[in-house]
A = this chain, B = another copy of it.
Amino acid sequence: GRTALRRHGLAARSAAVRAYTPGSQRISPERLNTSLHDSCKWGAAFRWGSDPRETGMARLTLDDADFAARRWLSTEMQALGCHEAVDAMGNQFFKRKGRREGPPIAVGSHLDTQPAAGRYDGILGIHAGLEMMRVLYENNVETEHPLALVNWTNEEGARFPRSLCGSAVWAGTAQLDDFHALRDVKRPDVTLKAELLRGGYLGDVTCSHQANPLAAHFELHIEQGPILERAGKRIGVVLGGQAYSWFTLTVRGQANHSGTTPLDARADAMLATARIIDRAHQLARKHSGLASTGIISAEPGSINTLPSSVVFTLDVRHASGEKLSRLIADIRSAAADVTSEPSTQGCAIEWRTEFESPEIRFNAACIDAVREAAVRTVGADAAMDVYSGAGHDSCSTAQAAAGSACPTTMVFVPSRDGITHNPREWSSPEACADGAQVILDAVLTYDACAGR
């Protein structure tokens, strides 16, 4: 049977396609959605409705639930004849042989979530890849290139505060040692490397696009914004992603009594922080960018003591890398102004850059394959070109250096009310199926055309 064939390298007989017509292979919407929600038993949290599927998720990268989900994925992929390799960042690569040798065309995304997340961000992308592998296995399809499903480590950057961790080291835009040394934002004694070791995910494959190249990278993701829904579209053909930078700011003031210290004798680190957050927002608005603060803490943390220091994050974004730089420069200068204003005079501000993701343009051939597949699945009127507001592992893979470049693009499906990073994040079963079908078609189209 199939297993025996596979053992002998798939050479005997196959339905290999040298030209592929989108739609001729079909995903199973039922299987896709069932599988997705079944796998959410690892990390389900924050119930918001009575249906078993109406919970959110808390599956932070490399926590016990994440380890359980990873092991489940290994079992599923093994059953489909895929070979697993784990690299030094814990990225899981599940490879399926093709007619040719060489780097696989990958479908990748991530199984980790935000601390109070939904069931779709990243998870849907992995399930689209799994469903693709199931269809090909079931129909005994031999592709021209090898294929792979990739589960990237710590895409979210929620537990260890750099996003796209696994894919960034792989793409060479970040250093392995730096990311191994990252500390859990809530338990600073725990490093990313220690958690890789704990789970058995410090793999022996070098984490590098040169040592372990991919021929291309396709990713299905929920949009995580309101644009497709507002426009009444079903598929977003993603042309690129906006630039963003993450900072940690430390504002040092003078601790003093909140009842005895006249306003003009204060170096109030909390007021300085409030002014910076407010002005960062005003400047973001002016420049058509974004500025946001998600983490904040104050020392010593007493109701009647002006803080000696406040530490907070700033996430700044702009579709244009150049305009992002200008926005950041303006925020820096506004923050500097605060240190000479009444009540915050004498505060000192320290900026640490945590992560930078440049403006990304995806690969034209990959985009064409997605667009063709999208038009076939939902019709030209229901597809729309978009840019990604969020960073994605595809933003990393797109940066893999020439020589081992990795042509990349993405597919978006609508998010209800544009809500994400929230337990109520939701995309309809139909939308999930649309996306998975487009991924299957795009990959097979690209496989049939690439490298001819």
- Which residue numbers of A lie inside 8 Å of B, CB to CB? 114-116, 156-158, 161, 163, 185-186, 223-226, 242, 244, 246, 254-263, 265, 268, 270-271, 273-275, 277-278, 281, 284-285, 290, 292-308, 310, 313, 315, 317, 342-343, 354, 388-391, 418-422
- 11 A-B contacts, Cβ less than 8 Å apart? A114-B300, A257-B389, A258-B292, A258-B317, A260-B389, A292-B304, A295-B298, A296-B298, A302-B421, A304-B421, A305-B421
Question: Known: A262-B226, A420-B256. Is A292-B306 also a contact (CB below 8 A)?
Answer: yes
Partner of A354, one of B256, B303, B313: B303
Question: Known: A274-B273, A418-B256. Is A281-B304 also a contact (CB below 8 A)?
Answer: no
Q: Are B281 and A306 in contact (CB under 8 A)?
A: no
Question: Known: A301-B294, A302-B295. Is A260-B390 also a contact (CB below 8 A)?
Answer: yes
Nearest to A284 among chain B residues (CB) is B263
Please report whether the interface of chain A is mostly helix, strand, loop or mixed according to DSSP. loop
**In the docked arrangement, what's the CA distance between A308 and B46, Å?**
13
**In the docked arrangement, what's the CA distance between A390 and B259, Å?**
5
Q: Are A115 and B297 in contact (CB under 8 A)?
A: no
Query: How far, in Å, is A18 (CB) from chain B's closest CB?
Result: 39
**In the docked arrangement, what's the CA distance between A314 and B285, Å?**
28
Nearest to A121 among chain B residues (CB) is B257
Q: Are B116 and A299 in contact (CB under 8 A)?
A: yes
Q: Are B418 and A261 in contact (CB under 8 A)?
A: yes
Q: Are A420 and B114 in contact (CB under 8 A)?
A: no
**In the docked arrangement, what's the CA distance between A69 and B420, Å?**
52
**In the docked arrangement, what's the CA distance between A212 and B238, Å?**
76
List the 8 closest A-B pairs by CB distance, nearest first: A260-B389, A258-B292, A225-B260, A274-B277, A224-B260, A305-B421, A115-B300, A274-B274
Q: Are B295 and A301 in contact (CB under 8 A)?
A: yes
**In the docked arrangement, what's the CA distance between A277 and B378, Å?**
49
The listed residue with most B CB atoms (<10 A of its CB), out of A158, A262, A281, A285, is A281
Query: How far, in Å, is A220 (CB) from chain B's closest CB?
Result: 16
**In the docked arrangement, what's the CA distance between A226 and B264, Å?**
11
Partner of A390, one of B257, B285, B295, B301: B257
**In the docked arrangement, what's the CA distance between A420 and B262, Å?**
13
Nearest to A292 among chain B residues (CB) is B258
B-chain residues with CB within 8 Å of residue A265 when the two chains form the complex? 225-226, 418
Nearest to A422 among chain B residues (CB) is B255
Q: Are A296 and B294 in contact (CB under 8 A)?
A: no
**In the docked arrangement, what's the CA distance between A116 and B317, Å?**
37
Q: Are A421 and B255 in contact (CB under 8 A)?
A: yes
Query: How far, in Å, is A171 (CB) from chain B's closest CB?
Result: 19
**In the docked arrangement, what's the CA distance between A32 and B43, Å?**
60
Question: Known: A225-B262, A256-B421, A284-B263. Is A114-B305 also a contact (CB below 8 A)?
Answer: yes
Q: Are B306 and A259 in contact (CB under 8 A)?
A: no
The listed residue with most B CB atoms (<10 A of its CB), out of A157, A294, A299, is A294
Beyond known contacts A226-B262, A256-B419: 5 more, CB 8 A cutoff: A115-B302, A157-B304, A158-B305, A246-B303, A303-B313
